[in-house]
Amino acid sequence: MPEIVGIAGSLSSPSRTRAVVSAAVRSTAERTGLTGAVYDLRDIGPSLGAAVGIGDLAPDARDVVKRILNADALIVGTPVYKGSYTGLFKHLFDLIEPAALKDKPILLTATGGGDRHALVIEHQLRPLFGFFEAATIATGVYASSADFKDGELSSPELLARLETATRQLASAIRAQAAFWQQDLATDAA
């Protein structure tokens, strides 16, 4: 089944990162008619920290990784600590083979206490997913504490940026689907 998978690299619950990722998944699913699911590191569980390969993960965690690999698109987000993504977020993607995310449309998001971490998307996340040759969309979404009220996204500027980003992701998903259909038609001919 076609699906958008969101990964929030936070262990906290509730989480501002999960709020951003969830909003992006909902918006993109509405734009594309696809289903969406959001997971955070808490959902993947404690086996992640000790895993040196996907086979070392608990069954539920392996299922999340399979959904990442089979997703039509990903929306990833991380809280920013000490100027970078979380270690377990990075470790999750360390377990994935580089070719597995090639050409997969990905929307990058991050959250932090203030604006000084806003460049983490360009200086940390984009290079990480560039290594995988993923198709990261142009607009990333960074949210600071000031963009939330009572745990909900409240900043008009953030909501507008999120709308732009999810529109771009939906376009990338549609373009990729058209490409694969054309490719299949060419192979069948």
Residue 178 has what pLDDT? 74
The residue type of 140 is G
Read off the pLDDT of residues 15-44 as tens digits, 9 standing for 90 and up: 999 999 999 999 999 999 999 999 999 889
CA angle 101, 102, 103 (to 5 degrees): 110
Sorting pLDDT into bands at 50, 70 and 90, what band is 82? confident
162 with 23: CB under 8 angstroms?
A: yes
Read off the pLDDT of residues 104-144 as tens digits, 9 standing for 90 and up: 999 999 999 988 888 999 999 999 999 999 999 999 999 99
121 with 91: CB under 8 angstroms?
A: no
Residue 83 has what pLDDT? 87
The CATH number of whichever domain residue 42 belongs to comes to: 3.40.50.360
Give me the count of residues in the chain.
189
| 176 Cβ contact list (under 8 Å, min separation 6) | 72, 103, 105, 135
Q: How many angstroms from the chain centroid is the CA of residue 109?
A: 7
Read off the pLDDT of residues 49-81 as tens digits, 9 standing for 90 and up: 999 999 999 999 999 999 999 999 999 999 999
pLDDT cut 90: percent of the chain above it: 83
pLDDT at 91 exceeding the cut of 60: yes
**Domain total of the chain:** 1
Range of the domain at 11: 3-188
Read off the pLDDT of residues 169-181 as tens digits, 9 standing for 90 and up: 999 999 987 766 6
